[in-house]
Amino acid sequence: VAGRRLDLAPAAPRSTRAVASAAPLRLALTWSVLRRLAPNVVDVLTPNGRYVRALSGAHGPVIVSAAQRDPGRLTISIAGDPEDHAAALELVRCMLAVDRDVTPFDRAAATLPWLRPLAVRMPGAKPPRYASLWDAFVHVVAFQQLSLRAETPILRRCIASTCPAI
């Protein structure tokens, strides 16, 4: 979100972990699949390629960010209550599918003429997941009732009404 700071107070306890990934992984492509459309204000990629997301922790909000310096590794930073760091790390690993081996998909896609061009254009895109069952449920209901282009701004307004900082 342009002009907005996506961070907790500087005093928030932080931790940083290097996380190995099943190759290939391209963070920007995986983020693009997770984001779906530009109006998404929840899943953010900064101009320097860092994925940033606020999550609900057991003890309060947690800000996670992930950066990729090489194809097989992410650096994940977590800010918030230290008791929430381990759970947030596992959640972001799952959301970004860092452990998912996409080799079987790539092999299958190579045999399907209609899918092959997409697979060739997007090597390293992982199948991301929603942060929670609630996220998935809200999107599924909205997607069934409306088009994706109509649903995204509606969800943005719902989020903004409950989180004035957006």
82 vs 152: CA distance, rounded Å: 32
User: What pLDDT digit, counting tens, does each position of 35-71 carry?
Assistant: 876 767 788 889 999 999 989 899 999 999 999 988 8
Cβ–Cβ < 8 Å for 56, 84? no
131 vs 153: CA distance, rounded Å: 19
Name the burial class of residue 94, with classes exposed (0-12), middle (13-18) and buried (19+) by CB atoms within 10 angstroms of its CB: middle
User: What pLDDT digit, counting tens, does each position of 94-153 carry?
Assistant: 999 999 998 898 889 999 999 999 888 888 888 888 888 888 877 777 667 666 677 777
Beta-bridge mates of residue 65: 52, 77
User: What pLDDT digit, counting tens, does each position of 5-43 carry?
Assistant: 444 555 678 899 999 998 888 898 888 888 876 767 788
Structure tokens at 130: 């929603």
The dihedral built from the CA positions of residue 159, 136, 32 and 16, taken in this order, carries a sign that is positive
Q: How many residues does the chain have?
A: 166
Q: Rounded to two decimals, what is the model's pTM? A: 0.77
Q: Crossing angle, helix 133-145 and helix 148-162, to 10 degrees?
A: 130
> Among residues 27, 62, 36, which one has the least CA distance to residue 136?
36
Which 3 state secondary structure label does DSSP give 126? Answer: coil
